[in-house]
Copies of this chain bind each other. A is one copy, B any other.
């Protein structure tokens, strides 16, 4: 059975303006690979309801899971929850379960649960809350869309509580070798090898060291013995 597929939607003007560098995509990519879920596509859009809504519809329709990051705080530019609800045809309002989480948090920390903060209790009907152990305001899962916070520590904590609830596939394994030759010298033999191992995927990723071009060749697949055989062939082809 093929592995489940996933997409990611990063929401935030600050990424597209270059003010902030996103780190959630890289974290999600590593965690999904470990879980045997294939991340097929990632997108970054601005804090714009039309752009978010269109991407949520398209990506949730095309993949088994969609993970979003950002736009669920208390300020006027936080529109993710409302936009996801609209895209999936659900109503949204302050929900008692989410409100109770915030009330308990602010009672404990001494903050005030004002109108702005209460917006973080707006949760679509039918959604399941995702625990936020850091600042209480929950994420949620609605259908196959997992709506997580943008602050990296909170994103990572929310993901850690969602991932064990999903059914993954066979973990994709990979092995890599560094080859201290330019990609142009290894491309021909590598293509032939890839043809002989159609069940594996071969990637070549160039890098520079001391001014010389080198390549990491990565072989991926779900059969350990086949991976071993392909990597042995690589070592034979490119000894050093």
Contact = CB atoms under 8 A, between A and B. Distances in A.
B73 A183 contact: yes
Contacts of A183: 73-75, 116
A75 B201 contact: no
A90 interface: no
B13 A18 contact: no
A42 B17 CA distance: 11
B185 A114 contact: yes
Contacts of A218: 14, 19
Interface string A7-36: 000000111111111100111111111000
* Chain A interface helix/strand/loop/mixed: mixed
Given A114-B185, A151-B207, A184-B117, A29 B45 contact: no
B73 A204 contact: yes
Interface in A171-219: 172, 174, 182-188, 190-191, 194, 201-208, 213, 215, 218
A82 interface: no
B116 A188 contact: yes
Interface residues of A, number: 69
Residue picked from A112, A114, A182, A201, most chain B C-beta under 10 Å = A182
A77 B204 contact: yes
A142 interface: no
Nearest to A211: B134
A101 B26 CA distance: 35
A112 B13 CA distance: 46
Nearest to A26: B21
A203 to B, nearest CB: 5
Contacts of A135: 213
A115 interface: yes
Nearest to A43: B43
A41 B30 contact: no
B15 A29 contact: yes
Contacts of A25: 15, 22, 44
11 contacts: A14-B218, A15-B25, A16-B42, A19-B174, A19-B218, A25-B44, A73-B183, A73-B206, A74-B183, A111-B184, A151-B206
